[in-house]
């Protein structure tokens, strides 16, 4: 390292002294010693300068102190000389000028009291005397009064001090504001606490006020309780008073004395109350009052207590003051709830800290008690029913739990609901809802709006549905709520930047956010579900409306990223899994039991907490609003759930995995043979075998085994024929509506006897097996039956609209019945009972207890219609529906079906009713020739022309002949496994086409012409001969 000492003129050359110095530094360590010596010298000089400056400052202060003491002694001597002589007005004025220059507490208190007494006496004798005392002189004397009161004890006589302040200072607004800045309120409350003394115990209770206490408090609050001496004050003065009340006063004195005085004496009609009210509203505890963090919570609770205490006399105020009070109450409480919620202060476990905590809880409980009191409810009712233009929406939002009894009235008001939506819309950015904070007014407004809209939607029958009557901008509002629901889910489970999994603090924040946003999200989910359920019945919105949101909501499905292994609290290490497999596994568990329930064990909560944000969002969507996911995406997810169930079953039954279950059935007795094998039994029930691979062997009409070997195709044919027989109305298990829609036959128990429910449970098992194997069955169920079959809410009523598909005439009559007058209903002589005839057995059934003795009137006609619909569509088939549900749930988890609507379940079971085209089938079918010739291309075109020309029934028969199922897969022919194929073999005019349904393969001879091809193909697919044609 080299050192260059340079001159400021830019000359970098060294002189001889520098050269000599640098040569001396060549000695080892000499350079470092030299630099340290320079540094020590510089520090020594700095210390000497500081010491010199400090000495000068001390001397200057001392000289000033000595000079001021000399002046004080001089002024005090002059004051005493004047006071000992005869005192006139001029002498009193001169004494007041002298006192402010030498006053010291504990030395001049008697002189101050004597002077104040003289001033009060002079003003009493001559009111004009007051004008001779300048404002500055009054304020200086008032400051002496403040110092005097700050040193007061329980024996202090304060009459003359407060009398002077009343006569000369507080009667003038500008002087009042000035003295409040100098600590007037702190001194006054210090005096009050000195008079109260040390409490004997820590009991929280109303304490009696002595005359001295009451006199002092009256003087402190005089501008609010004494209209004759109510000096107009500013908000700043009221704010300083509130700060002293909420920050400086000890806890017990505040709760036992001051709060009760405020409750008893300060009313909304008091003078200066509007100023006090404004100060309470605008109080800024953290910044304006500069309160310490540990003081903020107490100050906020005390301020709330003061404002809510005015409710004690709210019934004695006028309408305008009432509206003003309530309009401010809601936003105020929201602000202070936010302040206390966001605090992060360490708990004080000292005796004083525990006492403060107990008092704060007492004050909060007192506030809650006041807000739920009958007095507050009466005032709230008067406010809620006031002119809507004056009512603050934000107040109703903030106090929604206290206004709950009146929100039903408000929900019926179009102007209120529109105002509520306007309030929400005002916070939207570019038409999108800005979530902001979970306790903000707009979030509460959204929750309230959804609850009101849910009530409106639920109270309207499908046949009377009028979107404009529910809400003026119904379509756009539903779209807005749909998009908002997705946004709320993203807020509950935010995307993590550095980690895919919630851990540590991020996990705690997620759990906190989930709990805090739960209420509003459930409200949004509820209204969307209510509208969706109505929409699937009346088909109001266009197709694709619910999924046309442009967002990816199932981002976890198909994601093959690996999740890290995690160790649970019990020591178990989770196996490595992908995002995709974890999503399916957790979704399956959530459908089977609510993972948010209180019964969830620690391990389950731990596993849920380890889920990435994308999976948490996707699971939330599927659990609450699955209908916003495209139908085919839900089908894929459902198939993944089935695959998982397949894998789980095979892993538990590994020894039998390759063997399967062998079943032999007669072709003409498929149903009964299968029933004997899989019917419910107390012992040796074979329901678990339904999840295994079933190998079917068919026996023909002659008692001979058919030649086919089941590779899957024979089983599909078996299951199709079995269910076709079960759903045949001639067998008696099911019957049809006028529209040829199937539902359980209410008379089946009378026709089939004791085994009826066993048969329905068996049919449920077969439907479950159909879904489990992803096979389709050509069947059309009544919607009211489907709505019950997979409904999780057993107490849900059937909608009147369902009666339209059951019996259009009854539906029409019930609609007319609802609109009849009292006289028309009286002429019908209807009661709450119905007459039924089941296989000749006529019964009179009460729709409710003693229903035959209760007449239908205008007041209860809607109840009659509801009970009538429930009886015919629900109660009469309830036991059979329950048996079918029980059978289905023994094969698959019936809760999985909750992700589909009833019409979608119909598609899942029966496929689309639209018949395939040859063009669609050809895209996913491979055609080969056993012997290639030049005419292969023309023969292929001829074959597909023949297929395309088949009738609807023949196309379904063709598909069943080749694949074993008459309907195309829900997700198209591309999902056929193995892929469908056509093999053209050697020419023959006599052979019929054959098929290998297990391979989805059609084997067809090369016929000479189109007529022969069409004839043989039609004959084969309609023969129903099984493998006998082969």
| Domain match, 636 and 686 both | no
In the three-class reduction of DSSP (H, G, I as helix; E, B as strand; rest coil), residue 310 is classed as helix
| Domain match, 807 and 792 both | no
Which pLDDT score is estimated for 601? 45
Task: Tell me the backbone φ, ψ of residue 835, rounded to 5 degrees.
Answer: -105, 125
Take residue 837 and report the two structure tokens written for it: 């005839």
Task: Tell me the backbone φ, ψ of residue 917, rounded to 5 degrees.
Answer: -110, 155
| Domain match, 787 and 677 both | yes
CATH code assigned at 710: 3.90.1750.10
| Domain match, 826 and 715 both | no
Q: Residue 627 falls within a domain, yes or no?
A: yes
Work out whether the CA dihedral 566, 572, 575, 578 comes out positive or negative: negative
Q: Among this protein's residues, is 144 annotated catalytic? A: no
User: HSE-up of 347 (CA within 13 Å, CB side)?
Assistant: 5
| Domain match, 811 and 938 both | no
Which pLDDT score is estimated for 55? 92
Take residue 518 and report the two structure tokens written for it: 């739960």
| Domain match, 60 and 1 both | yes
Burial, 927: exposed, middle or buried (Cβ in 10 Å; 0-12, 13-18, 19+)? middle
- In 3D space, the residue among 130, 48, 46 whose CA is nearest the CA of residue 96 turns out to be 130
Which pLDDT score is estimated for 403? 63
Q: Residue 239 falls within a domain, yes or no?
A: no
Q: Residue 937 falls within a domain, yes or no?
A: yes
Which pLDDT score is estimated for 1030? 43
Take residue 172 and report the two structure tokens written for it: 């003038």
Which pLDDT score is estimated for 800? 82
Mark 618-641 as b/e (b = at least 16 C-beta within 10 Å): bbbbbbbbbbbbebebbbbbbebb
| Domain match, 459 and 476 both | yes
Q: Residue 216 falls within a domain, yes or no?
A: no
| Domain match, 685 and 746 both | yes
| Domain match, 434 and 547 both | yes
CATH code assigned at 853: 3.30.2160.10
Q: Residue 273 falls within a domain, yes or no?
A: no
Residue owning tokens 């205490």: 309
State the pTM of this model. Answer: 0.64
Q: Residue 812 falls within a domain, yes or no?
A: yes
- Residue where a domain stops, chosen among 614, 642, 670: 642
Q: In what order do the strands lie in the sheet with 1001-1004?
A: 925-929, 980-984, 1001-1004, 994-996
Tell me which residue range forms the domain holding 847: 802-873
User: HSE-up of 312 (CA within 13 Å, CB side)?
Assistant: 16
| Domain match, 533 and 435 both | yes
Domain count within the chain: 6
In the three-class reduction of DSSP (H, G, I as helix; E, B as strand; rest coil), residue 743 is classed as strand
Q: How far apart are CA 83 and CA 216, in angstroms?
A: 30
Residue 181 sits at the vertex; the CA angle it makes with 178 and 186, to the nearest 5 degrees, is: 130
> Cα-atom radius of gyration of the chain, to the nearest Å?
45
Which pLDDT score is estimated for 216? 87
- Residue where a domain stops, chosen among 519, 536, 551: 551
Work out whether the CA dihedral 697, 700, 706, 711 comes out positive or negative: negative
Say if CB 764 and CB 888 are below 8 A apart.
Answer: yes
| Domain match, 484 and 542 both | yes
- Residue where a domain stops, chosen among 551, 577, 608: 551
Burial, 6: exposed, middle or buried (Cβ in 10 Å; 0-12, 13-18, 19+)? exposed
Per-residue H/E/C for 572-609: CECCCEEHHHHHHHHHHHHHHCCCCCCCCCHHHHHHHH
Q: Residue 699 falls within a domain, yes or no?
A: yes
- The single residue of 145, 246, 965, 998 carrying the catalytic annotation is 998
Q: Residue 654 falls within a domain, yes or no?
A: no
pLDDT < 50 regions, the chain: 1-9, 499, 568, 594-606, 609, 656-657, 1028-1030
Q: If residue 980 lies in a helix (H) or strand (E), which one and from where to where? A: strand 980-984
Which pLDDT score is estimated for 436? 61
| Domain match, 773 and 815 both | no
């Amino acid at each position: 390292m080299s050192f260059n000492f340079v001159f400021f003129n830019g000359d970098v050359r060294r002189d001889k002294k520098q050269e000599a110095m640098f040569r001396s530094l060549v000695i080892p360590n000499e350079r470092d010693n030299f630099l340290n010596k320079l540094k020590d010298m510089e520090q020594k000089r700095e210390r000497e300068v500081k010491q010199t400056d400090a000495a000068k400052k001390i001397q200057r202060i001392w000289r000033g102190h000595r000079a001021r003491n000399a002046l004080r002694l001089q002024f005090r001597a002059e004051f005493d000389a004047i006071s000992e002589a005869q005192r006139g007005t001029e002498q009193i004025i001169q004494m007041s000028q002298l006192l402010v220059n030498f006053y010291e507490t504990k030395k001049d208190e008697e002189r101050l009291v004597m002077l104040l007494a003289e001033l009060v006496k002079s003003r009493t004798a001559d009111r004009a005397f007051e004008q001779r005392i300048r404002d500055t002189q009054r304020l200086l004397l008032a400051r002496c009064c403040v110092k005097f009161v700050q040193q007061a004890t329980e024996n202090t006589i304060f009459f003359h001090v407060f009398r002077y302040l009343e006569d000369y200072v507080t009667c003038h607004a500008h002087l009042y504001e000035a003295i409040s800045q100098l600590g007037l309120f702190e001194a006054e409350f210090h005096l009050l606490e000195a008079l109260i003394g040390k409490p004997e115990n820590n009991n929280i209770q109303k304490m009696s006020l002595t005359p001295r206490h009451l006199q002092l408090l009256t003087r402190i609050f005089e501008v609010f309780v004494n209209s004759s001496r109510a000096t107009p004050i500013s908000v700043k003065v009221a704010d300083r008073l509130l700060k002293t009340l909420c920050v400086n006063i000890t806890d017990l004195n505040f709760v036992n004395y001051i709060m009760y005085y405020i409750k008893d004496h300060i009313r909304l009609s008091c003078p200066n109350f509007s100023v006090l009210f404004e100060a309470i509203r605008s109080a800024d505890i953290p910044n304006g009052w500069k309160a310490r963090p540990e003081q903020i919570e107490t100050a906020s609770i005390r301020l709330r207590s003061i404002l809510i205490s005015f409710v004690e006399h709210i019934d004695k105020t006028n309408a305008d003051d009432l509206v003003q009070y309530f309009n401010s109450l809601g936003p105020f409480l929201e602000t202070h709830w936010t302040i206390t919620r966001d605090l992060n202060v360490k708990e004080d476990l000292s005796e004083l800290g525990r006492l403060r905590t107990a008092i704060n809880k007492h004050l909060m409980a007192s506030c809650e008690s006041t807000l739920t009191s009958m007095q507050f409810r009466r005032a709230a009712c008067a406010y809620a029913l006031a002119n809507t233009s004056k009512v603050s929406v934000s107040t109703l939002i903030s106090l929604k739990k206290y206004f709950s009894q009146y929100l039903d009235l408000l929900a019926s008001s179009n102007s209120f609901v529109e105002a509520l939506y306007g309030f929400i819309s005002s916070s939207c950015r570019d038409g999108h809802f800005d979530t902001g904070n979970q306790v903000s007014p707009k979030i509460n407004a959204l929750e309230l709006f959804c609850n009101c809209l849910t009530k409106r939607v639920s109270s309207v029958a499908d046949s009377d549905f009028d979107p404009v009557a529910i809400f003026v901008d119904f379509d756009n509002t539903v779209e807005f709520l749909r998009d908002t629901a997705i946004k709320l889910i993203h807020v509950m489970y935010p995307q993590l930047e550095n980690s895919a999994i919630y851990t540590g603090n991020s996990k705690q924040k997620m759990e906190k956010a989930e709990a805090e946003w739960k209420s509003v999200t459930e409200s949004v989910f509820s209204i969307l579900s209510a509208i969706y359920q109505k929409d699937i019945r009346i088909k109001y919105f266009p197709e694709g409306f619910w999924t046309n949101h442009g967002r990816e909501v199932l981002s976890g499905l198909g994601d093959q990223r690996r999740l890290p292994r995690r160790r649970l609290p019990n020591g178990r290490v989770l196996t490595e899994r992908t995002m995709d497999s974890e999503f399916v596994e957790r979704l399956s568990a959530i459908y089977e039991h609510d993972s948010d329930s209180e019964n969830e064990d620690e391990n389950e909560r731990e596993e849920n907490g380890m889920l990435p944000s994308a999976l948490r969002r996707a699971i939330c969507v599927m659990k609450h609003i699955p209908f916003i996911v495209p139908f085919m995406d839900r089908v894929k997810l459902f198939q993944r759930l089935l695959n998982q169930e397949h894998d789980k079953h095979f892993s538990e039954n590994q020894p039998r995995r390759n063997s399967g279950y062998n079943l032999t059935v007669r072709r003409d007795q498929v149903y009964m043979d299968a029933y004997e094998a899989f019917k419910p039994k107390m012992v040796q029930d074979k329901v678990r075998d339904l999840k295994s691979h079933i190998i079917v062997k068919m026996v023909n009409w002659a008692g001979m085994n058919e030649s086919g070997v089941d590779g899957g195709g024979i089983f599909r044919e078996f299951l199709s024929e079995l269910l076709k027989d079960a759903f045949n109305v001639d067998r008696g298990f099911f019957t049809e509506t006028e529209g040829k829609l199937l539902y359980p036959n209410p008379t089946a128990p009378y026709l089939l006897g004791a085994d009826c429910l066993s048969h329905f449970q068996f049919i449920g098992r077969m439907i479950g097996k159909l879904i489990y194997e992803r096979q389709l069955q050509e069947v059309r169920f009544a919607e009211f039956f489907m709505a019950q079959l997979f409904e999780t809410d057993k107490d849900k009523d059937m909608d009147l609209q369902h009666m339209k598909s059951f019996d259009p005439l009854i539906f029409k009559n019930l609609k007319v019945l609802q609109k009849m007058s009292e006289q028309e209903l009286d002429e019908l002589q209807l009661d709450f009972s119905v007459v039924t005839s089941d296989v000749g057995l006529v019964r009179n059934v009460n729709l409710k207890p003693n229903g035959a003795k209760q007449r239908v009137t205008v007041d209860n006609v809607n109840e009659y219609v509801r009970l009538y619909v429930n009886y015919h569509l629900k109660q009469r088939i309830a036991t059979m529906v329950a048996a079918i549900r029980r059978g289905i749930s023994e094969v698959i988890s019936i809760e999985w079906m909750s992700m589909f609507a009833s019409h979608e379940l119909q598609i899942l079971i029966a496929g689309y009713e639209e018949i395939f085209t040859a063009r669609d089938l050809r895209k996913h079918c491979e055609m080969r020739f056993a012997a290639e010739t030049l005419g292969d291309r023309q023969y292929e075109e001829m074959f597909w022309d023949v297929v395309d020309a088949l009738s609807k029934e023949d196309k379904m028969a063709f598909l069943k002949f080749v694949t074993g199922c008459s309907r195309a897969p829900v997700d198209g022919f591309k999902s056929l496994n193995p892929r469908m194929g056509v093999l053209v073999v050697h020419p023959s005019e006599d052979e019929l086409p054959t098929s290998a349904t297990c391979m989805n393969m059609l084997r067809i001879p090369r016929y000479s012409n189109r007529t022969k091809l069409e004839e043989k193909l039609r004959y084969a697919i309609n023969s129903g001969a099984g493998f006998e044609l082969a």
